[in-house]
């Protein structure tokens, strides 16, 4: 999701059936449909981040946040939870304003920070594949 600094983490995992059920039951006010749940997970954080991987598995109506799955590298997801949306935005006015699409308290950069050079790039994320 971050095309300017590289491919992002992109660690993949499959959502176990038990967590698919949990994802549907996690918001009792909003009955979900299995087709709304993302089961082929692809980590949404930046490349080389520390800690567990996260991907959004279900978008909820309203402002209570979205459902995210968490997993450790090379393992099945063990956990889904409703996480509040990250409240950061890029601070630009009008149409240039872009909010972070990740969850509150996430590691690494905000999703809009791809082209934001005010933040220092992490080691290992710069220009690995700039060859023509
Ligand atoms: Zn990751
Ligand atoms: Zn953020």
The per-residue pLDDT for range 47-65, each reduced to its tens digit, is: 889 899 999 999 998 888 9
Contacts 24+ apart (CB under 8 A), 29-35: 30/60, 30/61, 32/58
Task: Give the lowest-confidence range in 2-11, 59-68, 81-90, 120-129.
Answer: 120-129
Asked if 109 and 46 count as a contact pair (C-beta separation under 8 A), the reply is: yes
Q: Residue 23 — very low, low, confident or very high, per pLDDT cuts 50/70/90?
A: very high
Q: Give the bridge partners for 70, in sequence order.
A: 54, 79
What pLDDT sits at residue 6?
52
| Model confidence at 127: pLDDT above 90 | no
* Rounded distance from Cα 99 to ligand 2 centre (Å): 8
What digits encode the pLDDT tens for the residues 63-78? Answer: 889 999 999 999 999 9
CA-based R_g, the chain, Å: 16
- Which residues make Cβ contacts (< 8 Å) with residue 106, sequence separation at least 6? 45, 54, 86
What pLDDT sits at residue 124?
45
- Ligand at minimal distance from the CA of 106 is 2
| Model confidence at 123: pLDDT above 90 | no
- Ligand at minimal distance from the CA of 111 is 2
Q: How far is it, in rounded angstroms, from Cα 27 to Cα 117?
A: 38
Q: Give the bridge partners for 103, in sequence order.
A: 85
Question: What protein residues have CB closer than 5 angstroms to ion ligand 2?
Answer: 86, 88, 100, 102, 110
* Rounded distance from Cα 29 to ligand 1 centre (Å): 30
* Rounded distance from Cα 46 to ligand 1 centre (Å): 7
- Ligand at minimal distance from the CA of 45 is 1
Q: Kindly list the domain boundaries of the chain, sorted by start residue.
A: 12-115
* Rounded distance from Cα 87 to ligand 1 centre (Å): 20
Question: What protein residues have CB closer than 5 angstroms to ion ligand 1?
Answer: 9, 11, 43, 45, 53
Average pLDDT, integer, range 101-121: 73
């Amino acid at each position: 999701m971050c095309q300017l600094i590289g491919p992002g983490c992109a660690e993949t995992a499959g959502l176990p059936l038990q967590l698919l059920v949990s994802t549907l039951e996690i918001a009792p006010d909003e009955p979900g449909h299995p087709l709304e749940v993302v089961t082929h997970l692809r980590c949404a954080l930046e490349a080389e981040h520390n800690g567990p991987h996260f991907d959004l598995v279900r978008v909820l109506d309203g402002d209570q946040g979205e459902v995210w799955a968490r997993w450790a590298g090379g393992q099945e997801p063990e956990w889904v939870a409703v996480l509040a949306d990250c409240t950061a935005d890029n601070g630009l006015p009008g149409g240039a304003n872009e909010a972070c699409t990740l969850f509150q308290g996430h590691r690494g950069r905000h999703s809009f920070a791809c082209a934001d050079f005010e933040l220092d790039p992490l080691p290992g994320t710069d220009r690995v594949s700039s060859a023509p």
